[in-house]
Amino acid sequence: MTEAGFWDNVEKSSSIVKEVKFLKSIIEPWQNASTRFNEIKELAEISRDDDKELVADLSRNMDLLLLEVEKLEFKTLLGGEFDKNNVILSINAGAGGTESCDWVSMLFRMYSRWAENKGYSLKTIDVLFGEEAGIKNITVLIEGDYAFGYLKSERGVHRMVRISPFDANKRRHTSFASVDVIPEVEETAGVNIEEKDLRIDVYRSKGAGGQSVNTTDSAVRITHIPSGIVVQCQNERSQHQNKQTAMKILKARLYELEQKNKEEELTKQYSLEKKRIEWGSQIRSYVMQPYTLVKDLRTDYETGDVNKVMDGGIDEFIEAYLKFQAKRKN
């Protein structure tokens, strides 16, 4: 950064400044904790047993330091290659019609509140509303440090049990929705996409009605012919912006597919164990009637406070999953 002409290339300099900021966010908290520890240690060495006020103060500071170090220690669980990246999150309704569409909208609200509580930004990329209520499927980009590292724990099928507000007979219904998460990858990720492998279609965006309906063919759907992956975007202001966003998602999905193929090749001998946590398996149950319980079926972590969870309070589930994964690797 001190070299002459550093700011001549704005794109490159911005990338380096961003990297410096990220590295400082890792290093400085540990340096601060180390400094505080040495200060407490020095005071402890010169303190007297009969100086109760100083001993109590040292004890309080030590407890605070331990809590801080525990938080820093937890961050070491987010050491994956793309854990620090933004995340592309998709939620899709399962069988169940309106009830499942309503469940998708509830999960979308849960993740929106979680992102808001973290200070992250959320942008809707594509959405298809249900015929009567709710959402059939939605794709959003959540931007913030470690967004993918946290939300990778949410990939899988989420099951809800409740007395349906759409059932006149007030019967209990079970609904399913699948959640998929992929990291937003940089241009340097090494995924090569050739134009001849793409089929690009444009169509009119579908809104919720009223003034939100787009009257131009600005929505973009891109099909990657070799892999069969289809991505689309309709929520940007122009066809060009929608195409750029769709290409970004395609790049991320192709990278994920490449990594998944490599992983499956390396872990064939553990296929039975892996099946338990792969895409398509049920990971969490949310029971709202006749009792309240949210339980993660991978880690066995559970809570009866459904309202807190649906308001975005999923950090305990995320932490339990990351610790569970760390134990399995060890």
**Residues 171, 197 within the same domain:** no
Phi first, then psi: give them for residue 301, nearest 5 degrees. -70, 135
Does residue 148 share a domain with residue 13? no
Q: Is residue 45 located within the same domain as residue 10? A: yes
Q: Exposed, middle or buried: residue 229 (CB in 10 Å: 0-12, 13-18, 19+)?
A: middle
- Token pair, residue 194, equals 């050739």
**Domain co-membership, 139 together with 203:** no
136 vs 261 pLDDT, higher one: 136
Shared-domain flag, residues 141 and 51: no
CATH code: domain of residue 288: 3.30.70.1660
Query: What pLDDT does 281 receive?
Result: 66
Sign of CA dihedral 6, 9, 12, 17: positive
Cβ-count burial 134-166 (b if 16+ within 10 Å, e if not): bbbbbbbbbebbbbbbbbbbbbbbbbbbbebee
Is residue 280 over pLDDT 70?
Answer: no
Residues 196, 317, single domain; the answer is: no
Please report the pLDDT score of residue 171 as a whole number.
83
Taken in order 299, 300, 303, 304, is the CA torsion positive or negative? positive
Same domain, yes or no: 97 and 36: no
Whether the predicted pLDDT of 224 surpasses 70: yes
Same domain flag for 131 and 175: yes
Q: Taking a C-beta distance cutoff of 8 angstroms, is the pair 301, 317 a contact?
A: yes
Q: Which of 213, 232, 266 is the last residue of a domain?
A: 266
The verdict on residue 248 lying in a domain is yes
Evaluate whether 313 touches 304 at the Cβ level (below 8 Å).
Answer: no
Torsion of CA 317, 320, 326, 330, to 10 degrees: -140
In-domain check, residue 80: no
Mark whether 167 and 301 lie in a shared domain.
Answer: yes
Is residue 145 scored above 50 in pLDDT? Answer: yes
Q: What are phi and psi of 236, to 5 degrees?
A: -80, 170
The residue segments making up the domain with residue 135 are 87-188+279-329
Domain membership of residue 39 (yes or no) is yes
pLDDT of residue 283: 94
Residue 129, phi then psi, degrees to nearest 5: -80, 155
pLDDT at 54: 87
Which of 182, 183, 179, 185 has its CA nearest to residue 314?
179
Same domain, 293 and 224: no
Look up the pTM and report it: 0.72
| Domain assignment of residue 272, yes or no | no
- pLDDT reported for residue 221: 92
Mean local confidence (pLDDT), 59-79:
88
Checking if the pLDDT of 270 tops 60, the result is no
Where a domain ends, among 45, 75, 105?
75
> Which residue, among 137, 123, 177, has the nearest Cα to 154 in the 3D structure?
177
Which domain-ending residue is among 266, 290, 315? 266
Looking at the domain assignment, is residue 149 inside a domain?
yes
Do 112 and 178 lie in one domain? The reply is yes
Q: Is 62 part of any domain?
A: yes
What pLDDT does 209 receive? 42
Residue 81 placed within a domain? no
CA distance 151 to 158: 14
What confidence score (pLDDT) does residue 179 get?
95
Under DSSP, the state recorded for 302 is E
Best-predicted range by mean pLDDT (60-64, 163-167, 306-310):
306-310
Task: Please check whether residues 28 and 177 belong to one and the same domain.
Answer: no
Q: Are strands 282-287 and 156-163 parallel, antiparallel or unpaired?
A: parallel
Lowest mean pLDDT among 7-11, 42-46, 255-259: 255-259
Domain count, the chain: 3
- Give CA separation, 256 vs 91, 106, 152, 217, 262, in Å: 17, 27, 12, 30, 10
Average pLDDT of every residue of the chain: 85
Inter-residue contact 241 to 202 (CB < 8 Å): no
pLDDT band at 36 (very low <50, low <70, confident <90, very high): very high
Evaluate whether residue 125 is within a structural domain: yes
